[in-house]
Structure 1
Amino acid sequence: MAVVSTKAIVFNTIKYSDSSLIVKCYTLEDGLKSYLVRGVLKSKKGGIKVGYFQPLTQLNLVANHSEKRSLHNIKEVHIANPYKTIYQDIVKQSIVMFLAEVLTHAIKEEEPNKHLFSFLETAFSWLDIHDKVSNFHLLFLLNLTQFLGFYPDLSEKEKLGFDLMEGNFTDDTSQKNIIYKNDFYQFKKLLGINFDSIENVSFSKQERQQVLKIIVRYFELHLDGFKTPKSLQILEAVFS
């Protein structure tokens, strides 16, 4: 058993008994960890509040991490970076619900990855302070693939299509998982850019939905057991 002080980002919560939660977090020091937070659903003054565990909240934790257990204990918790807009804005809330679900399915490693943690922390802070965010989730997902090991190979960008299975450009547009023509053109707009450039990328509603479907398909092809997130429908409704 080790007492660890770490930054953490909440991925999801599951109700456990009438008064407790199991909280899955991605931590800076130890990667993915699940915590049993007892009594948090019974309101009491002081102590740990349920509001700390909304999706993608950034926390500072002091916790007991045990190699023998799958559920760990939180001793202290504070919000590290209080969001100003994310939980008040219906569009940002929908994006956050969707991305939290994707991250829960996509990240399985228990070991730490400080570059990935820094990417998540920076991305969600960016989302909180910017207004034009309708393409944020598209670029977030695509750039997340850098840390998951299947970012598109950007050599040979002049070819006619992109092979979602192989993750590279190709002139053979007859195969099953190859995008070309308008799908390919829209997908390419997101490659090699950062969040500050996202405001300059324009999609129609149909194009945005189509690009999102392509990226979700890309995840399904490269991650074992990855399923289309249930919250995708909510996100599509918000943007339609």
Structure 2
Amino acid sequence: VLATVRYGESDVIVKMLTESSGLRSYMIRGLQKSKRGAFRPAMFQPLMQLQIQAMHRDKGQLERLTEAKVAVHYLSLNSDIVKSSMALFLAEVFKMTLQEQEPNPDLFTFLSEALLALDAADAPMNFHLKIVLEFQQFLGCYPDFKQGNQPYFNLEEGVFQASSAGVTRHGSVVQDLCTLAKTPFGQLAQWKTTTQQRRALLDLLMDYMQMHATGFKRPKSIEIYRQVFG
């Protein structure tokens, strides 16, 4: 589930990334008033993983869900305030950048496994950064880390270089970007970062995506996240 938009008094439009049909939008009638129906509002929280049956007419219109149930029961993603805030932010990033109508099994698997890793993490503070960075592989704009020992990162070209030519960043945030790329999900908890480090990395990633990802704008949920966690 990428996003839900209220439509009228009780209906909802749900935008989803599906494994077999790519990006789809579904109209769910009466969801806001549903108490005993087939669908519950809690099922459509950001980044919930569902097993669905649907009728696809493939005419560019809203599709119809016929059945849905929770496929993955998260341990803490929806109840932990840090993780749920990250989920809200990530869902906004995915919603703005995913345009594919065609199925992409590799992308679907990556997102599913990344969310499971976030859900299971005891120390999740770096996970949203790692997910955003690795997600860029599917957008075709993953940075080239071959020259990661160079002091400057060129945001326009996505490469590391010796000079400050172009739109660049330098200093500790560039070193942290390289560390983030080299650190697997299973070792993120051991990488101790400060609030200042994470802010700088997030700003760099957002600036980079604004240059390379069609339709991407700085998510509003970033400011909410910072107000809560500093």
TM-score, scaled to structure 2: 0.96
Q: CA RMSD in A?
A: 1.2
**Residue 76 of structure 2 is aligned to residue 85 of structure 1:** yes
- Displacement over 3 Å in runs of 4+: none
Partner amino acid, structure 2, of 1:28: E
Alpha-carbon distance between aligned partners in 1 of 2:125 and 2:215, rounded to the nearest angstrom:
28
Alpha-carbon distance between aligned partners in 2 of 1:41 and 1:169, rounded to the nearest angstrom:
49
The structural deviation recorded for 1:44 is 3.1
Could you report, residue by residue, the CA deviation over 1:177-217 in whole angstroms, capped at 9, with x for unpaired residues?
21112221222211133211211222211111011000001
Q: For residue 239 of structure 1, what is the aligned residue in structure 2?
A: 229
Q: Residues 121 and 189 of structure 2 are in contact (CA less than 8 Å); yes or no, is this contact kept in structure 1?
A: no
**Residue 187 of structure 2 is aligned to residue 202 of structure 1:** no
Match of 1:161 among 152, 171, 190: 152
Greater strand proportion? 1
Secondary structure in 2 matching 1:18? coil
Which piece of structure 1 moves more, 10-19 or 40-49? 40-49
Q: Residues 22 and 102 of structure 2 are in contact (CA less than 8 Å); yes or no, is this contact kept in structure 1?
A: yes
Q: Residues 94 and 238 of structure 1 are in contact (CA less than 8 Å); yes or no, is this contact kept in structure 2?
A: no
Alignment of 1:57-96 (within 5 A): 57-96=48-87
Could you report, residue by residue, the CA deviation over 1:100-119 in whole angstroms, capped at 9, with x for unpaired residues?
00000011111111000000
Unmatched 5+ stretches in structure 2: none
Which piece of structure 1 moves more, 101-110 or 196-205? 196-205
Partner amino acid, structure 2, of 1:94: S
Q: For residue 230 of structure 1, what is the aligned residue in structure 2?
A: 220
Alpha-carbon distance between aligned partners in 2 of 1:199 and 1:111, rounded to the nearest angstrom:
35
Q: Residues 25 and 33 of structure 1 are in contact (CA less than 8 Å); yes or no, is this contact kept in structure 2?
A: yes
Q: Residues 3 and 46 of structure 2 are in contact (CA less than 8 Å); yes or no, is this contact kept in structure 1?
A: yes
Match of 2:32 among 33, 41, 44: 41
Q: For residue 12 of structure 1, what is the aligned residue in structure 2?
A: 3
Q: Residues 152 and 169 of structure 2 are in contact (CA less than 8 Å); yes or no, is this contact kept in structure 1?
A: yes
Secondary structure in 1 matching 2:180? coil
Secondary structure in 2 matching 1:233? helix
Secondary structure in 2 matching 1:110? coil
Alpha-carbon distance between aligned partners in 2 of 1:41 and 1:13, rounded to the nearest angstrom:
11
Greater helix proportion? 2
Unmatched 5+ stretches in structure 1: 1-9
Q: Residues 3 and 16 of structure 2 are in contact (CA less than 8 Å); yes or no, is this contact kept in structure 1?
A: yes
TM-score, scaled to structure 1: 0.92
Could you report, residue by residue, the CA deviation over 1:26-84 in whole angstroms, capped at 9, with x for unpaired residues?
00001100000011111331421111100000000000011114200000101000112
Partner amino acid, structure 1, of 2:136: T
